[in-house]
Amino acid sequence: MPQLGESIAEATITEILISAGDEINADQDIFQVETDKAMMEVTTPCSGTIAEVVAEVGTSYAVGAQLAFIEATEEDAIKAGLMKNPADVEPETEEDEEEDANVHFAVDPKDTIETAGAPSVQPTVEGGLPVPVRSSVYLSPRMRHRMEELGLNAADLAGLAGSGAGGRVTVEDFEKFMSELEERQMTEASHMRIAVADSMRRSWTRPLATVTVPITLDKVLAHRKSLDPKPGVTLYAMRALAIAIAENTAVAGRLIGTRIVHPQSIDIGFAVEVADGVLVPHIKNVDTKTLSEMQERYDELVARAQDRKLPPEAMVAGLATVTNVGPFGITAATPIPLPEQNLVLGLMAGQMEPVWDKEKQTFVPMMKANFILSFDHRILDGGAAGRLLQRVGALLQEPEKL
């Protein structure tokens, strides 16, 4: 199993495209797999013949785990970098042997540990991702061990009242709870749902806060009518947020120890709803791109996200995320930033509201929508977050400059 992405430790086989005895070429698709982010293909490292397929459909395998065996010629293996060319290996000289003999801590070959071919990542608990227990509630070592056996974390016990001292959940409480669950109707959570749950749990370990500013969208809506293709409000918001962040990159930094790490580039992600979850592809350097330059890439990533076929480079978390829940009629929400991010901007449903026009001295109808910014309170305070959101609103009043 290859490393299919920076944060991907395992993948589930969904389809086997080859059989033992098949002749294959280098870089040929031989397995289709599902990670917690996308559907992807595993390709062959070199040409040859499939000797044996050990992977099974529906089973998860860690990065480095054995999926199949290929019979390949020495030439093909050398070409693929799987073995060294004997012609390039210099024979050991008497000087080399003498140097080896003078090593302080010489190791007998029979005492070495063979690691070639071993998985670089250990497989996780069957049926779920490995989630460490992090809770302010005391859990005994015995309790922790039992939960780890089942791949559970403290958040899974949030609704369980304990009978131990101070309301502590005992192993007996836990076992009773688990046995009662077996009598209830249950369905298996998808890999996507487990990944989203784990991501949100890790995000919630930080002190998060939210500010809201109502922003008029009439100028944005009028401007998009003049363009072909017509960019959505999400693209306008991504561009405005990127410009605002570029003016002071510390607002999107990450607190590591006692220092704020500033971003190297302004890459903005956007939420795309898929079956049983959300994917967040991103566009690079949004502060330097125009709306028209972003449009084609945005449309491509939306389509690929909906097919669960995002390229690995687009699945790395960007600097911040824009999520548009307006199409669902939502007027207020609390978006949660990804664990790797400090900011998430939520766009709510627009509503016609009367707004006082000073020049006309009367109320005029205007389209307004709440823009909600959630942020890591360790990095930003309410005032700084409010100013950032006001700046986004001001930039949206001049859409022709975006």
274-305 pLDDT, tens digit each: 887 889 999 999 999 999 999 999 999 999 99
Domain limits, the chain:
10-111, 141-187, 206-401
In this model, does residue 346 exceed pLDDT 70? yes
Separation between Cα atoms, residue 303 and residue 272, nearest integer Å: 9
- Per-position b or e across 60-95, b if 16+ CB within 10 A of its CB: bbebbbebbebebeeebbbebeeeeeeeeeeeeeee
What's the whole-number mean pLDDT along residues 28-39? 85
Predicted local confidence at residue 311, as pLDDT: 87
Which of 58-62, 168-172, 339-343 is most confident? Answer: 339-343
Which of 3-17, 93-107, 155-169, 353-367 has the weakest average pLDDT?
Answer: 93-107
Q: Report which residue type is found at 157.
A: L
In this model, does residue 223 exceed pLDDT 60? yes
Which of the listed CATH numbers 2.40.30.40, 2.40.50.100, 3.20.20.70, 1.10.4190.10 matches domain 10-111?
Answer: 2.40.50.100
In this model, does residue 54 exceed pLDDT 80? yes
pLDDT in tens, 165-186: 667 778 888 888 888 888 888 8
Share of residues in the chain with pLDDT > 70 (%) = 85
Which of the listed CATH numbers 3.40.50, 1.10.3470, 4.10.320, 1.20.1070 matches domain 141-187?
Answer: 4.10.320
**CA separation (Å) from 70 to 13, 62, 65, 84, 149?**
18, 19, 15, 17, 35
Predicted local confidence at residue 72, as pLDDT: 92
- Statement: the pTM of the whole predicted model exceeds 0.85: no
**Averaged confidence pLDDT in the chain:** 84
Q: Please check whether the two domains, 141-187 and 206-401, share a CATH topology.
A: no
Predicted local confidence at residue 290, as pLDDT: 92
Separation between Cα atoms, residue 271 and residue 238, nearest integer Å: 11
What's the whole-number mean pLDDT along residues 66-80? 89
In this model, does residue 121 exceed pLDDT 80? no
Question: Residue 4 — very low, low, confident or very high, per pLDDT cuts 50/70/90?
Answer: confident
Superfamily assignment of 206-401 in CATH?
Chloramphenicol acetyltransferase-like domain (3.30.559.10)
In this model, does residue 131 exceed pLDDT 50? no
